[in-house]
Amino acid sequence: MAATPKAAVECNVGPIRFLPGPNRGRYPHCHSVYVEGAGVLIDPASDRERLTRLRDEEGVREVWLSHWHEDHFAHLDLFPDAIVRIHPADAPPLADLEVLMDWYGMDEPENRSLRERWAEYIVSGFHFRPRPESELSFFAPNEEIGLFPGLSARVLHVPGHTPGHVAFFFPEPSVLFLSDYDLTPFGPWYADPASSLTRTIASVRALQAVPARRWIPAHDGGVLTEAPPALWDAYIEVPLSRERKILDFLSEPRSVDDIADLWLVYRKPREPLDFYRWAERATAKKHLKRLAERGLAVCEKGLWRRA
């Protein structure tokens, strides 16, 4: 049985307002959430015009970031006077563009041109401006925030996607904002240097246990009115299936480039090719590291094989 998403249109679950991003919130956009009566906006990277109206007509006192990625902070510049909150583990990339680029791991010589173009796009396309730690407020581990009488938010630290990735559970309307553990067929992203597939799986299972009745992913469909076990299992199966394919492929010695040529993430070459190939290589390296840690693969003279 599949989940039942409502259409990706603006709607409310009690005071929790779902603000859809363009193209079903798919990258480079995401869905946002606004808490009526509290003036709290979560992940300001949906529709820029809609967020501008929200600021001007209803007011935004606080912006909560689920993590540091650009498709979640894209319109943060619209709210210069708002309190900005994030988990402290994800604060460094917001403070400096070069640090942000370092966190993507584009530091190999062959990625220099890509890094420079990507940095320019982070500024022009995602309106990045440095936010030093002195301008930020931080969530405490598993903090419970009283928003107003009858409504609270639990900050759930669910690392893996990023070190400080958080989800938000609103117990009274029983709504869980999943952020980037979005339960889509694409599966989770775990290719950043500080990402972890093992921790991602543990975090997804922790979110599965939250007693919610509505789930809001940051991307793709709208508000989920059911999330059966098969949906969570299928989401986790995506990276595990990639890992099994890599292990089978290592029946003969292979390079990281050989594995990237399988296009296990994006299924086929896409443009800009250097960006998507970087993503395939980064993902392959994550799987190889995990296989090596479990004693299932070894590297000899730059080539990987099954142990």
Residue (of 189, 71, 180) closest to 126 by Cα position:
71
Tell me the average pLDDT across 49-64.
98
Give the CATH number for residue 196.
Answer: 3.60.15.10
Q: Which of 201, 217, 233 is the last residue of a domain?
A: 233
Domain annotation covers residue 305? no
89 with 214, same domain: the answer is yes
Tell me the average pLDDT across 34-52.
98
Domain range for residue 268? 241-300
Residue-level pLDDT at 109? 83
pLDDT band for position 66 (cuts 50, 70, 90): very high
Domain annotation covers residue 4? no
102 with 215, same domain: the answer is yes
d(CA 158, CA 155): 9
Whether 3 shows a pLDDT value over 70: the answer reads: no
Domain annotation covers residue 26? yes
Domain annotation covers residue 5? no
Q: Which of 233, 266, 281 is the last residue of a domain?
A: 233
Whether 278 shows a pLDDT value over 50: the answer reads: yes
Range with the poorest average pLDDT among 4-13, 60-69, 83-92, 178-187: 4-13
151 with 283, same domain: the answer is no
The reported pTM is 0.95
Residue-level pLDDT at 4? 47
Tell me how many domains the chain contains: 2
Could you report the per-residue pLDDT of 101-133, keeping only the tens digit for each? 999 998 888 889 999 999 999 999 999 999 999
d(CA 143, CA 64): 13
Q: Which of 233, 268, 287 is the last residue of a domain?
A: 233
Residue-level pLDDT at 8? 78
Residue-level pLDDT at 141? 83
Whether 237 shows a pLDDT value over 50: the answer reads: yes
Domain annotation covers residue 6? no
| Intra-chain end-to-end CA distance of the chain, in Å | 38
257 with 168, same domain: the answer is no
pLDDT band for position 7 (cuts 50, 70, 90): low
35 with 114, same domain: the answer is yes
Residue-level pLDDT at 32? 98
| Three-state DSSP string of the chain | CCCCECCCCCEEECCEEEECCHHHHCCCCCCEEEECCCCEEECCCCCHHHHHHHHHHCCCCEEECCCCCHHHHCCHHHCCCCEEEECHHHCHHHHCHHHHHHHHCCCCHHHHHHHHHHHHHHHHHHCCCCCCHHHEEECCCCCEEEEECCEEEEEEECCCCCCCCEEEEECCCCEEEEECCCCCCCCCCCCCCCCCHHHHHHHHHHHHCCCCCEEEECCCCCCECCCCHHHHHHHHHHHHHHHHHHHHHCCCCECHHHHHCCCCCCCCCCCCHHHHHHHHHHHHHHHHHHHHHCCCEEEECCEEEEC
8 A C-beta contact, residue 216 and residue 30: no
Residue-level pLDDT at 120? 97
117 with 193, same domain: the answer is yes
Could you report the per-residue pLDDT of 158-180, keeping only the tens digit for each? 999 999 999 999 999 999 999 99
How many Cα atoms sit within 13 Å of 216 on the Cβ side? 30
Domain annotation covers residue 1? no
Amino acid at 130: P
59 with 195, same domain: the answer is yes
Whether 210 shows a pLDDT value over 70: the answer reads: yes
Domain annotation covers residue 109? yes
38 with 69, same domain: the answer is yes
156 with 274, same domain: the answer is no
Tell me the average pLDDT across 135-150.
96
Mean pLDDT computed over every residue of the chain: 96
Tell me the average pLDDT across 191-220.
97
149 with 228, same domain: the answer is yes
Domain annotation covers residue 307? no
15 with 120, same domain: the answer is yes
135 with 180, same domain: the answer is yes
